[in-house]
């Protein structure tokens, strides 16, 4: 019984430290400059694959990849997407929305993303078409969903 209590206490302490770290990394409201207008999906797409001449990516679906570039699950998902990059680029524009880019946090909030990695298929205007369950998705599942 004592070991069980110590494990629960340890897990609780780890969670408390994680919350404290997240909160410490946020700026206090007093130190923030006036809020800029929320960024659009087009602005978040600035870090996506650049359009090539004759490329119709603007008319295609967008695969929104919500990620923490430093997280192992997100790195694994990135590797999976990169492994089918040629096939993927034929059916969608991949938009990387990162926890390390402060402006991207508004996009996380707009889509209600709470777990990573998360993939959302959107139309060219950013309207959600489909959402995968959070976690690592196979290349086959992603490509099949984009082909519908």
Do 19 and 78 lie in one domain? The reply is no
Which range, of 11-20, 29-38, 106-115, averages the lowest pLDDT?
A: 29-38
Query: What pLDDT, on a 0 to 100 scale, did the predictor assign at position 59?
Result: 56
Query: What pLDDT, on a 0 to 100 scale, did the predictor assign at position 60?
Result: 86
Six-digit token string for 39:
């960024």
Do 137 and 85 lie in one domain? The reply is yes
Q: Among residues 104, 101, 111, which one has the least CA distance to residue 131?
A: 111
The structure's pTM equals: 0.64
What CA–CA distance (Å, rounded) separates 45 from 96?
A: 7
What is the number of other CB atoms lying within 10 angstroms of the CB of residue 44?
Answer: 23
Do 21 and 59 lie in one domain? The reply is no
Within a domain: 85: yes
Do 84 and 52 lie in one domain? The reply is yes
Angle at 125 between CA 124 and CA 128, to 5 degrees: 90
Six-digit token string for 51:
């359009």
State pLDDT tens for residues 84-122: 999 999 999 999 999 999 999 999 999 999 999 999 999
Domain extent for 113: 41-147
Q: Among residues 87, 57, 70, 77, which one has the least CA distance to residue 119?
A: 77
């Amino acid at each position: 019984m004592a070991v069980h209590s110590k494990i629960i206490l340890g897990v609780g302490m780890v969670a408390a430290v994680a919350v404290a770290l997240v909160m410490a990394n946020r700026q206090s409201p007093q130190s923030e400059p006036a809020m800029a207008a929320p960024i659009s999906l087009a602005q978040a797409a600035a870090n996506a694959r650049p359009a090539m001449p004759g490329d119709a990516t603007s008319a295609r679906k967008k695969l929104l990849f919500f990620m923490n570039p430093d997280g192992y699950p997100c790195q694994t998902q990135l590797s999976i997407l990169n492994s089918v990059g040629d096939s993927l680029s034929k059916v969608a524009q991949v938009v990387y929305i990162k926890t390390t880019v402060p402006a991207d946090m508004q996009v996380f909030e707009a889509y209600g993303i709470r777990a990573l990695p998360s993939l959302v298929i959107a139309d060219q205007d950013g309207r959600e078409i489909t959402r995968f369950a959070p976690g690592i998705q196979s290349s086959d599942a992603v490509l099949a969903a984009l082909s519908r």
